[in-house]
Chain A
């Protein structure tokens, strides 16, 4: 009666409730993708149908139209306090960054502006350890310094679900409630819970998006998986990494580490 997805879910709900109790003001980044939508679903479970935390989208204006349509429908149906933060334009980004990383840097800047302006002490994020090797090293409660930087060389100890909840003035914490889930876990959970998703994840004409990002730097993969069951079957067989279609991960050996150290999700 008690299975492994419930175990993962129970842990996520525990983390969400810890964050909600300990950190204020608190916001959550909702990228409208499969991971943060599953997380939003668990927010509703944790708070018994309510969404007591604002959902934040870092908008570059470059998402696919299906993403915006989906967002507006969910915001209306689930009664969400939605904050759309427009990110600064690409021209203002560090020109030494490779081009695709500049889009990520825009989001980082948008997030920093938002945190500064609205004085958030905690931001919930739907990143997972299995996505990317620097994310694999993350803590569940991960402190950021005054500039939003991640000091990955000196992370706080974290054990027995006793999270870091004390911070100097002006700093904030990133909270990662689905760090322990894998891509497959997320899809199995979608299937089990019947959570709505952006239709771009499902194959049409032999192509689907495995990971959703800006339209200029994210590419669909070849796939026949037109239902969630088929996605699961596809992923159980594949060895291609999830973010293969994300240009920014592959521009240089350390591009992702640099992005994350300076405050990217």
Chain B
């Protein structure tokens, strides 16, 4: 018996994309005919069906199976068809070119190893040519072949070919997407598909069939760090089997696995397989597996298993490049269900950072993202998510958004400027026991004459945080309050002298300040912290450290104003590229959604700001008579 399953070359999945009516379906139909791949009777059927509609032979009917598609001569939905050439199987995915059916184009293209972008020689590069190219890039396709179709309509002109192919090549170059080749063809006549065209002797490159031979299937990502998103946990019998598909890397019996986001670990005891002669000891990317662990730790769907040396990023904020597919626009503040690998999470749109014009690749600020638009948006989840940068690990770096019943968008994760929150959430010491204080906070408050509090200033560099903190501190001190300012000067020199200015270090800096501020507040102090603290998640963590005593004060000034003030010359350096990840310039600032207080140093004199803050603090730290609550 021959070993049938190793004899076959891996199939290649190619999507045909491009503007409506540029001839994708025709190209595919003709390619199948020329490679002798149409089943018996199909050609006759096509002739008959075309004649019935009073058309010349319509190749696209091979794929456009729906009556509505044939009647309107437009592809509505994506389809797949197999053909054999060059000693391998190709799966051809036809993607509709009409902008109405972009969701179907995406559904087809997302499954492909490579793409053929079809451009009409006469019409040239059009709206959907660019949009499709952009989406191919966003979907992660890196092998794109361009064909300039309908060369017969431009008299097989070499000049016109050079013009159109130059235009598309420039666009793709701006995207950072290389072309594997550009071929002049006439799909209807079969020119340069499977046979070299007699009409274009000036073209000396490969014909379509030869170019397809040079494309390769996406390599199996076994050399990336292990990612096993958990699908389910089975208890059909005495075994507790954890199942999922290995997206990247290799898993072996005996490996210690880290499950994110909860960070529990256990060792792989077995890889389970039904009907296997020998139980497997290793499994690789692409395989759907079931494993048992040496310890019964809590694991559930949505967790991601990795090796602990290369764990995924933990975050509750994610920046994504999304393509929006729904009629209702995406708006700031809207909530959606995010699906990432096997995890689900409720997310809120925190900001729309850039809406991208796929025609010019220019970005602009926007209040909404409309159907078929592409944008950079920041999403905030209510829980911690384990994920990767799309560039590092596509399978765990992309997501879909669902609005009630409908998938409304897809997006790829781009975490530039956001720290990994993994370190910040772990309590490293395990021998910590809380020592009970004999003194109550109330006792301290009555001794001091006011309650302890964390007054947390946040705002851009140059907004006036330090200036205000010092003035407020002096005013309160003069009123007899126990007050102290924590700022970069006194914290960075000692407590946090080990930290730099990487996003991760900056987050750790803020975490420590939050903890220290909470201790000050418990000690009865009014502590004012004056840090940019650009991320909501960091401020929320600080609030958690002092839940009843935390007051967020947004010190607001427009970026332009701050940049003009530039008291430390930092903006200038950041603009010159001398400082990386500078808030407002090259890293995001997340304005507080609901601060306890906001002052505007742009529009109010400084004394007013001080008075406003002092008034607020006086009320917030006011002592309540022991029976006040019941009396009112």
Residues of A with Cβ closer than 8 Å to B? 2-7, 9-11, 13-14, 17-18, 20-21, 44-50, 52, 129-130, 133-134, 136-137, 139, 152-153, 155-160, 162, 164, 166-168, 180, 182, 188, 191-193, 229, 232, 239-241, 244, 253-254, 257
Q: Which residues of B contact A160 (CB under 8 A)?
A: 110, 395, 398, 400, 410
- Which of A3, A191, A192, A254 gathers most chain B CB within 10 Å? A3
Asked whether, in the complex, the Cβ of A17 is within 8 Å of the Cβ of B79, the reply is no
Could you say which of A130, A191, A239, A254 contacts B67, with CB atoms under 8 Å apart? A254
B40 at the interface (CB under 8 A from A): yes
Residues of B with Cβ closer than 8 Å to A? 1-2, 4-6, 8, 10-11, 36, 38-42, 49, 52, 62-63, 65-68, 76-82, 89, 91, 103-104, 106-107, 110-111, 139, 220, 231-232, 234, 236-237, 239, 241, 243, 245, 272-275, 284, 286-288, 290, 301, 325, 337, 339, 395, 398-400, 402, 404-407, 410
Q: Which residues of A contact B237 (CB under 8 A)?
A: 48, 50
A22 to chain B, nearest CB (A): 9
Q: Which residues of A contact B91 (CB under 8 A)?
A: 180
Tell me whether A129 and B80 are in contact in the complex, defined as CB-CB below 8 angstroms, given that A2-B220, A10-B287, A232-B4 are known contacts. yes
Asked whether, in the complex, the Cβ of B405 is within 8 Å of the Cβ of A253, the reply is no
Tell me whether A159 and B107 are in contact in the complex, defined as CB-CB below 8 angstroms, given that A17-B231, A133-B63, A152-B66 are known contacts. yes
A137 to chain B, nearest CB (A): 5
Asked whether, in the complex, the Cβ of B80 is within 8 Å of the Cβ of A239, the reply is no
Tell me whether A166 and B400 are in contact in the complex, defined as CB-CB below 8 angstroms, given that A14-B245, A20-B232, A47-B234 are known contacts. no
Could you say which of B5, B111, B410 contacts A4, with CB atoms under 8 Å apart? B5
Query: Closest 9 CB pairs between A and B?
Result: A133-B65, A159-B110, A157-B103, A162-B400, A13-B288, A241-B39, A136-B79, A10-B288, A50-B236
Q: Which residues of A contact B4 (CB under 8 A)?
A: 188, 191-192, 229, 232
CA distance A49 to B273 in the complex (A): 9
Not counting A9-B288, A130-B81, A137-B78, a sample of 19 additional A-B residue pairs whose C-beta atoms are within 8 angstroms of each other reads: A2-B220, A17-B243, A44-B274, A48-B236, A48-B237, A50-B236, A133-B62, A133-B63, A136-B81, A137-B79, A139-B107, A152-B76, A153-B66, A159-B139, A162-B410, A164-B406, A182-B82, A182-B89, A229-B2
Q: Which residues of B contact A254 (CB under 8 A)?
A: 67
Tell me whether A49 and B39 are in contact in the complex, defined as CB-CB below 8 angstroms, given that A2-B287, A14-B231, A166-B405 are known contacts. no
Q: Which residues of A contact B110 (CB under 8 A)?
A: 159-160
B352 to chain A, nearest CB (A): 21
Show 26 A/B contacts (Cβ-Cβ < 8 Å), sorted by A. Answer: A3-B8, A7-B286, A10-B287, A11-B288, A13-B288, A17-B232, A21-B232, A44-B275, A45-B274, A47-B234, A47-B236, A49-B274, A52-B236, A133-B62, A133-B79, A136-B79, A136-B80, A152-B76, A159-B110, A162-B400, A166-B405, A168-B405, A182-B89, A188-B5, A229-B4, A239-B40
Asked whether, in the complex, the Cβ of A229 is within 8 Å of the Cβ of B1, the reply is yes
B68 to chain A, nearest CB (A): 6
B286 to chain A, nearest CB (A): 6
Asked whether, in the complex, the Cβ of B39 is within 8 Å of the Cβ of A159, the reply is no
Asked whether, in the complex, the Cβ of B106 is within 8 Å of the Cβ of A157, the reply is yes
Q: Which residues of B contact A159 (CB under 8 A)?
A: 106-107, 110-111, 139, 400, 410
Q: Which residues of B contact A156 (CB under 8 A)?
A: 103, 406-407
Asked whether, in the complex, the Cβ of A3 is within 8 Å of the Cβ of B407, the reply is no
CA distance A191 to B231 in the complex (A): 29
CA distance A57 to B234 in the complex (A): 27
Asked whether, in the complex, the Cβ of A48 is within 8 Å of the Cβ of B106, the reply is no
Asked whether, in the complex, the Cβ of B79 is within 8 Å of the Cβ of A14, the reply is no
Q: Which residues of B contact A152 (CB under 8 A)?
A: 66, 76-77
CA distance A244 to B36 in the complex (A): 18
Asked whether, in the complex, the Cβ of B40 is within 8 Å of the Cβ of A241, the reply is yes
Q: Which residues of A contact B286 (CB under 8 A)?
A: 2, 7, 10
B35 to chain A, nearest CB (A): 12
Could you say which of A10, A21, A153, A157 contacts B245, with CB atoms under 8 Å apart? A10
A246 to chain B, nearest CB (A): 13
CA distance A44 to B274 in the complex (A): 8
- Which of A5, A44, A192, A253 gathers most chain B CB within 10 Å? A253
Tell me whether A136 and B107 are in contact in the complex, defined as CB-CB below 8 angstroms, given that A48-B274, A162-B407, A253-B49 are known contacts. no
Which residue of chain A has its CB nearest to the CB of B111? Answer: A159
CA distance A180 to B93 in the complex (A): 12
Asked whether, in the complex, the Cβ of B11 is within 8 Å of the Cβ of A257, the reply is no
Q: Which residues of B contact A182 (CB under 8 A)?
A: 82, 89
CA distance A129 to B81 in the complex (A): 8
CA distance A14 to B243 in the complex (A): 9
Q: Which residues of B contact A168 (CB under 8 A)?
A: 405
CA distance A20 to B6 in the complex (A): 31
Which residue of chain A has its CB nearest to the CB of B4? Answer: A188
Q: Which residues of B contact A153 (CB under 8 A)?
A: 66, 68, 76-77
Which residue of chain A has its CB nearest to the CB of B247? Answer: A161
Could you say which of A3, A10, A48, A257 contacts B234, with CB atoms under 8 Å apart? A48
CA distance A240 to B80 in the complex (A): 19
Asked whether, in the complex, the Cβ of B107 is within 8 Å of the Cβ of A157, the reply is yes
CA distance A130 to B339 in the complex (A): 30
Q: Which residues of A contact B103 (CB under 8 A)?
A: 156-157
A142 to chain B, nearest CB (A): 11
Which residue of chain A has its CB nearest to the CB of B41? Answer: A241
CA distance A212 to B288 in the complex (A): 30
Q: Which residues of A contact B5 (CB under 8 A)?
A: 3-6, 188, 192
Q: Which residues of B contact A45 (CB under 8 A)?
A: 273-275
Asked whether, in the complex, the Cβ of B404 is within 8 Å of the Cβ of A21, the reply is no
CA distance A62 to B139 in the complex (A): 48
CA distance A145 to B8 in the complex (A): 40
- Which of A7, A52, A156, A162 gathers most chain B CB within 10 Å? A162
CA distance A156 to B405 in the complex (A): 10
Which residue of chain A has its CB nearest to the CB of B68? Answer: A153
CA distance A99 to B273 in the complex (A): 46
